[in-house]
Amino acid sequence: MIRPFLIILSAICMLSCNAATEPSDDRVNSLIEQEDWFALDAEYTSLRPRIKDKTVRLTADAMLNYLQNKPHKAVAYLDTLLNRQFYHRHREAYYSLSMLRCRMLNNVGRYREATMALGKMTQERKAEGASEQDWRPLEDFQAQNKWLDQLPAPSLQRTKNDVSVPFTLQQMQAKNQETWVEKARKDFKGYLLTVEAYVNGQPLQMAFDTGASKTFLSEATAKRMGLRFLPDTITLNGYQQARRAFVDSLRVGQITYHNLIVYVGISSLNALIGTTIDAVLGLDFISAVSETQICFDQRRLIFPAQQTPLPASGRNLYIQNVPYIKANRGNEQLTFVFDTGDTTGSLYYKYFDRHRSEVLQTAERDSIAQVEYGRIYIREVYMLPRLTFTLGRTSVDIEQVYVDPKSHGWVSTADGRMGMDLVHRFRKTTINMSSMFVSVEQ
C-alpha cells in the first residue's frame, strides 16, 4: 500500500546554477537533481570536505539525514540552512525545504513548532503577493496541524530483551462475485503477513506493511475501539478521504508505542475485493523499533534488543515516505520500493524503457487487475518468466514478474517494487531502519 509523497526537489536543483564551479559542488548538485540518493550516500564522505558552497553542503547533509531516518539531525541542518539569505536567493527551494522540515517536526511530535512555522510561511507568501495556489496549501496544512498542537509526542517503550511475536500469513484473494471483477478475483492473490497487536489494550490483527507511511485502521475498527477522532478530514494520495485518530498505546509483544496518530479510512476496498484487512502496522511503528527480523522458518517477527551490524555490502535502504532498496543486476543498479503490503513483485515503465528489446523477446503479453482511485482497472502488461538480481551479496530469483509497458503519465525514480514476493523466499529478512539496510538469508 504505497502512499505517494510529493516533495518538490526540482526547486532545490536550482542551487546548481548558483553554486561555485567546483567539481565536488557540481557532482553533489548533479546527484541531488537526479535524486540518485544511493550514489550520493556512497560518494559523500569523500566529496563533503571538498565542497566550497555551504548551501550545497547543508542541503546534502539535510537530505541524507532525512532519507536515512534521522529527522532530528535533518531538522538541525535545515535550521542552519533556511536563513534569510537563503530565502532571498532560493525562494522556492526555501518553501519546499521548509515544508519538509514541518513534516519532520510532526513525525517527532514537535507539532506546535510546525504549526507556528506554517503560519509564518503563510504570512510571508501573502506579503509577497503570491497567488492563492502558492499560499493556500500552507494555510490548509497549518489548519490541520492546529488540531495536533496539544497532543503529546510519540514515544517507544520496550523490554531490554529481544521481543519475539508469532505471525500468520493471510491470503489475499478477492471474493466479490460480480462479473466485472472476475479478473480481479484471479489476480488478487498472495499472502500478507499479519501480527496480533493491542490498540489501547484491545486485540487487533494488523498487516505488517512497510509501504504504509502511517499506521492505518478502517473506520469501523476505529469506532469499535472508541478511538478519539480529530475533527478534520484529510486527503491521502490525492484522492482518498481519511480521518485521523489518536491512539494512547499500540502494543506488539513487549513493545509499546505511545501517543500515536493513525489514519482512518472513510471508505474501504474490502467490500469490493473481498479482503479482510482492517488494520495496517505502518512505517511509523516499524521505524521507531529500528530493526525487525522476519523469520519465515519460525513464523515469527523478532525485534532484537541489540541491532545487527551493517553488512560489508553497506547501506542499501533509504526512506522517502516509503522505503527504497538498492539491488544489482550484473553491472546495473536497480531501485525498488520495498513494500511488504504488496504480494507480487513488479517492474515499472522505467525498467521497461531501458530493457525494451529484452522484455519483448522473452516476456509474454498478459493483463492484471489493479486498484487505483477506488476502482479496479485491467492493465495490459508483459510477464517476465523470471527476474534475477542480488540484494547485498545474496542472489534473488523471482518467477513471474510483470512489467508495465506504459508510464501512465508519471515518472518514478524506482525501477519497480518488491514485497512479500521477495521476503517469503528467504529464511530470514532483516529490516534495519537505523543503519539503513535490508538483508536476506537463505
CATH number for the domain including 346?
A: 2.40.70.10
The answer as to whether 367 is a domain residue is yes
Q: Which of helix, strand or coil describes residue 141?
A: helix
376 Cβ contact list (under 8 Å, min separation 6): 180, 181, 183, 184, 272, 273, 369, 370
Residues 169 and 287 reside in one and the same domain:
yes
Residues 222 and 178 reside in one and the same domain:
yes
Report the pLDDT value the prediction gives residue 181, as an integer from 0 to 100: 47
H helices within 90-189, ranges in order? 91-107, 111-127, 132-146, 182-187
Residues 89 and 46 reside in one and the same domain:
yes
pLDDT digits 0-9 by tens, 277-298: 789 999 999 999 999 999 999 9
CA angle 37, 322, 430 (to 5 degrees): 85
Residues 161 and 246 reside in one and the same domain:
yes
The answer as to whether 17 is a domain residue is yes
Residues 219 and 196 reside in one and the same domain:
yes
3 Cβ contact list (under 8 Å, min separation 6): 211, 212, 213, 214, 236, 237, 321, 322
The answer as to whether 113 is a domain residue is no
The answer as to whether 139 is a domain residue is no
Largest CA distance in the chain: 64
Residues 404 and 432 reside in one and the same domain:
yes
The answer as to whether 371 is a domain residue is yes
Instruction: State yes or no: pLDDT of 54 exceeds 50.
Output: yes
The strand pairing partners of 402, in sequence order, are 346, 383
* Mean pLDDT, residues 388-408: 93
* Mean pLDDT, residues 410-424: 89
The answer as to whether 262 is a domain residue is yes
Measured between alpha carbons, how far is 14 from 346 in angstroms, rounded to an integer?
A: 33
Residues 263 and 332 reside in one and the same domain:
no
Q: Which of helix, strand or coil describes residue 380?
A: strand
Instruction: State yes or no: pLDDT of 79 exceeds 70.
Output: yes
Instruction: State yes or no: pLDDT of 303 exceeds 80.
Output: yes
Range of the domain at 69: 9-108
The answer as to whether 295 is a domain residue is yes
Residues 326 and 274 reside in one and the same domain:
no
Residues 196 and 251 reside in one and the same domain:
yes
Percentage of the chain modeled with pLDDT above 90: 75
Give the up-direction half-sphere exposure of residue 318: CA atoms within 13 A in the CB hemisphere.
19
The answer as to whether 135 is a domain residue is no
* Mean pLDDT, residues 125-151: 95
Measured between alpha carbons, how far is 398 from 384 in angstroms, rounded to an integer?
A: 10
Residues 170 and 283 reside in one and the same domain:
yes
Instruction: State yes or no: pLDDT of 373 exceeds 70.
Output: no
Residues 352 and 382 reside in one and the same domain:
yes
Report the pLDDT value the prediction gives residue 172, as an integer from 0 to 100: 65
Residue entry with cell 504480494: 343
User: Can you give the three-state secondary structure of 284-298, one letter per residue?
Assistant: HHHHHCCEEEEECCC
Q: How far is CA 216 from CA 268, 338, 412, in A?
A: 11, 18, 24
Across the chain, what does the average pLDDT equal? 88
Report the pLDDT value the prediction gives residue 21, as an integer from 0 to 100: 67
Residues 168 and 104 reside in one and the same domain:
no
Work out how many domains the chain is built from and give that number. Answer: 3
- Contact 246/227 with Cβ under 8 angstroms? yes
6-15, 120-129, 159-168, 277-286: least confidently modelled range: 6-15
- Contact 283/188 with Cβ under 8 angstroms? no
